Structure 1
Amino acid sequence: MGVGSNDISGISTVGVFLAGRACSDTLFHMVAGAYGHPAITEERAAMPFAGGILQHGYQCGMIWGSALAAGAQAHRRFGPGPRAQAAAVTAAAKAVECFRYLNDGRRDCFDITELDETSSKMRMVTYFLLKGGTIGCFRRAARYAPAAFRAIESALSADPAAPPPPVASCAAVLAHRMGASDLHQTMVSGLAGGIGLSGGGCGALGAAIWLAGMDILKQHGGKLAFKDPKTTDVLERYLKAADYRFECSEIVGRTFQDVVDHAAWVRSGGCAGILEALASG
């Protein structure tokens, strides 16, 4: 079966959104589906990225969902290991770039909605219902889904500029330590460096939340609670280890130039305390 962005329509994207999904798992579903490989549990576990990591206002959930789908396709195309991980990082970077292009340079949920976990219920109701914020998110998803697919496919189809380093992603390292499968290690790879090395909310934190979400769904089925105690515990452990900093660029003091730069940071013990805290749950 042929796949492509033509398989993603605005109507079908909004339809998935309306079926009770969050922005994050909607985009995951649309991109993965365009490749012919939907993954229900993995998609559902992406729900906590809505609102920018448990509603903290960082990268839009659509970016997280797209990056996870890109990682899944990288694994199918290249198998386990550094090449697939590096390809997932590159594809995630293109997904971030695409989102910014479509949203006037904005990447973070707060910059779009002016909402985060501190916002009152009344403020949220005002934005989503009275100011048309819900419709805005639907339109954003309808535009972004086919564009994200094209950006991801272009990145995965390109020849690598150089051989990948042995360790390509902090998120993949964490997933390995948490006992995740080769597939899931590759899927989270693109979250590295604040998703595709863009310096935003920590990718290792995102990987830990996603893996915790899958454990919850496998044990209990149904639908994730937005602030399940298990994912909340992950966040609390992370914040203590990261000195209450969310963004990769703030923690590291810069953004990474490329996969090789990021790999060198991880190999030298960068963020070791954060990875240890996240893996200890």
Structure 2
Amino acid sequence: MDTKRREAEASIKDAKKVFRKLGTCSQTYFYLLNRAFGENKKAEERAADPLAGGIMKAGYQCGMLWGASLAVGAEAYRRCEHLSQAIRVAVEATRELMDSFETHESTTQCREITRCDFNNNLSFAKYMLSGRFLHCFRLAQEWAPIAVEKAQKSLDEKPFDFQFAQSCATEVARKMGASNEEMVMVAGFAGGLGLSGSACGALAATIWMNALDWCKKHEAGSPSEDPRAQEIMRSFHVFTDDMMLCKEISQRDFRSVEDHTQYLKNGGCFELIEELSHI
């Protein structure tokens, strides 16, 4: 067994240790799955920090899911010959991870898991003093091998379907100057992460792209320190009249990648994508 494989297996077996070292669940899961795939993307992994706590601590989808989705997107890009195929694989693999996580935890929402409002100091103090934070460490540990297995299976069974596919997250990343690889990394955010209809995937992609730019300029520290992230959140809330959920913004539930692609082709969320890409 080569060194990378041994290190990956050691990390997955002790995900709690990785979590303690890295500090956020989102970076932890990007790291864990990347290592399972034999990859190391420090800047990209660190850029996942602002997605912890359910997007800027807002309590929506668990950061473990955002990090895992970024990792499967990166691997989909490496495995797929065509961009549309990679986008489709990333979205469908993310959907599988969402289903797996919900089966394990009964919810995908950070606030329901933690019972904490991370933007409220009193709530955060209660989260720490009550020991509820230990539940997140246990969850990270328990789901890690399951997540790796689900991700590997979804990617191994990738469809050889080159039909045109789009993701709202990919579109906003493209308009922000992303590489093809970065575009596919965020592809799984589509439709509120794996087409789940929860908090906006285009918003999450914008925050991650901004954080990645910050990480490329700063070798140490967390991009959560960047005030532009809060500016992005404020602008998004103004533009959407405080709506955060994809299903509320789009006024629909997405059944498939094809459904989401058609929605975008018909101009769906065009104004929002334009707004986010120019903040």
TM class by shorter chain equals: over 0.9
Q: What displacement does 1:9 show?
A: 5.4
**Per-residue CA distance 1:187-207 (angstroms, 9 max, x = gap):** 000011111101111111111
Q: Percent identity?
A: 36
* Aligned match of 1:30: 32
Q: Aligned partners of 1:278, 1:82: CA distance in 2, in Å?
A: 22
Q: Residue 226 of structure 1: SS of its match in structure 2?
A: helix
| Alignment RMSD (CA, Å) | 2.0
* Aligned match of 2:110: 109
Residue 117 and residue 142 in structure 1: after superposition, are their counterparts in 2 closer, same or farther (change >3 A)? closer
* Aligned match of 2:91: 89
* Aligned match of 1:240: 238
Q: Aligned partners of 2:75, 2:56: CA distance in 1, in Å?
A: 25
Asked if the contact 2:114–2:136 (Cα under 8 Å) also holds between the matched residues in 1, the reply is: no
Asked if the contact 2:90–2:187 (Cα under 8 Å) also holds between the matched residues in 1, the reply is: yes
Unaligned runs of 5+ in 2: none
User: More helix by proportion, 1 or 2?
Assistant: 2
Asked if the contact 2:47–2:215 (Cα under 8 Å) also holds between the matched residues in 1, the reply is: yes
* Aligned match of 1:196: 194
Q: Aligned partners of 1:163, 1:206: CA distance in 2, in Å?
A: 27
Amino acid at match of 2:241: D
Q: Aligned partners of 2:157, 2:130: CA distance in 1, in Å?
A: 42
Q: Aligned partners of 1:101, 1:170: CA distance in 2, in Å?
A: 26
Asked if the contact 2:25–2:52 (Cα under 8 Å) also holds between the matched residues in 1, the reply is: yes
Deviates more, 1:136-145 or 1:65-74: 136-145
**Per-residue CA distance 1:92-145 (angstroms, 9 max, x = gap):** 101111111110x211001112222553x12211212x2212211111001111
Amino acid at match of 1:109: C
Aligned with residue 21 of structure 1, among 20, 23, 32: 23
Asked if the contact 1:9–1:142 (Cα under 8 Å) also holds between the matched residues in 2, the reply is: no
Q: Residue 54 of structure 1: SS of its match in structure 2?
A: coil
Amino acid at match of 1:149: V
Amino acid at match of 1:279: S
Normalising to structure 2: TM-score of the pair? 0.93
Asked if the contact 2:89–2:158 (Cα under 8 Å) also holds between the matched residues in 1, the reply is: no
Q: Aligned partners of 1:51, 1:255: CA distance in 2, in Å?
A: 24
Asked if the contact 2:49–2:223 (Cα under 8 Å) also holds between the matched residues in 1, the reply is: no
**Per-residue CA distance 1:11-64 (angstroms, 9 max, x = gap):** 521111111420100011001001110210000000011110000000000000
Equivalent residues in 2 for 1:43-192, closer than 5 Å: 43-103=45-105, 105-119=106-120, 121-128=121-128, 130-160=129-159, 163-192=161-190
Q: What displacement does 1:168 show?
A: 2.2
Residue 34 and residue 210 in structure 1: after superposition, are their counterparts in 2 closer, same or farther (change >3 A)? same
Q: What displacement does 1:255 show?
A: 1.9
Q: Aligned partners of 1:8, 1:168: CA distance in 2, in Å?
A: 36
Q: What displacement does 1:239 show?
A: 1.8
Asked if the contact 1:167–1:267 (Cα under 8 Å) also holds between the matched residues in 2, the reply is: no
Deviates more, 1:166-175 or 1:50-59: 166-175
Q: Aligned partners of 1:44, 1:90: CA distance in 2, in Å?
A: 24
Asked if the contact 2:197–2:247 (Cα under 8 Å) also holds between the matched residues in 1, the reply is: yes
Deviates more, 1:41-50 or 1:141-150: 141-150
Unaligned runs of 5+ in 1: none
Q: Aligned partners of 1:22, 1:179: CA distance in 2, in Å?
A: 26
